[in-house]
Amino acid sequence: MIVRPSANWLRMLFVWDGSVLKSIIPQLLLILAISSLAVATDGRIAGIKIPLDTAPFPLVGVSLAIFLGFRNNAAYARFVEARQIWGRILIAARSLTSQALTYLPQEDDGFARKLFVRRLIAFVYALTHQLRGTDPRPDLARYLNEEDLEHLSGMDYIPVALLDRLRLMLARAARKGQGPEQMLWMLDAQVGELAAAVGGCERISNTPIPYSYGVLVHRTVYLYCFLLPFGLVDAIGLATPLISVFVAYTLFALEAIAQEISEPFGTDPNCLALDAMTRTIERSLLEQCGQPKPEPVVANAAYNIN
């Protein structure tokens, strides 16, 4: 994700990183070619005049803007919810670590607190990889022992399995009387919060914006932009390519932004900075344990979760 400090109006005109312009340049070049052809042929195709004027375009444009606005709002709502879920993961992970270190016995007394925290960090990495469909093994190997890695081998829902391992540790501590029963319930509630966060992330990841709605908006945007030059050529003449490309830039960019942020766990510049957030949680938990911290991950600019 691109996160920048506030820039002045002049610099904002030339921002490249984080802009969707690079992804829609081919479409804009196509509109430029079509509008130039419309000017060169005086709005004719194969010698036949396309009888369009500017009157219908404002009406269609208003409807199209409403559709695009609704889709962008729906996409941004998914983005915000995903960000809030990861904020709750940070809070629950910190609280669970603090409670385990403070209330549960030392390792010599039976409860492996460091193993508990290592499995918690591995859970965060496993969730990131599950949401992105990438291989979690290199990151898991940094925190899990051979027994854990063997247990997780071949599993489809590794974050859930790791939460089960954490609960198993709490259950064993309860059976051995290593801490008041109410205290273990309190820790289990934090594990439940993490489990709810996993479900929330899976719901967002597995429930995209309805495909038919996206197809409708996509087709309408392209048809509008393809016909616009033939409606403008008689009214503004040589300025048709400039105005057509400008209008197309607005519509194509809105559609591209909605597409990116509607999948908040992806790797596009405007998706959530999962790598940075995961590393922030890792650093925070290691700091609570008094362990050395890895360097923070910075995604094109300073990004942190608070």
Instruction: Report d(CA 277, CA 70) in Å as an integer.
Output: 29
Instruction: Report d(CA 94, CA 32) in Å as an integer.
Output: 53
E strands, the chain, in order:
44-45, 48-49
Instruction: Report d(CA 246, CA 241) in Å as an integer.
Output: 8
Terminal CA-to-CA distance of the chain, rounded, Å? 16
Mean pLDDT across 180-205: 89
pTM, 2 dp: 0.85
Q: Helices 240-261 & 21-40, crossing angle to 10 degrees? A: 150
Per-residue pLDDT, 169: 87
Residues near 128 by beta carbon (within 8 Å), at least 6 away in sequence: 136, 274, 275, 278
Q: Please report which confidence band the pLDDT of residue 125 belongs to, taking 50, 70 and 90 as the band edges.
A: very high
Instruction: Report d(CA 52, CA 118) in Å as an integer.
Output: 67
User: Is pLDDT at 62 greater than 90 in this prediction?
Assistant: no
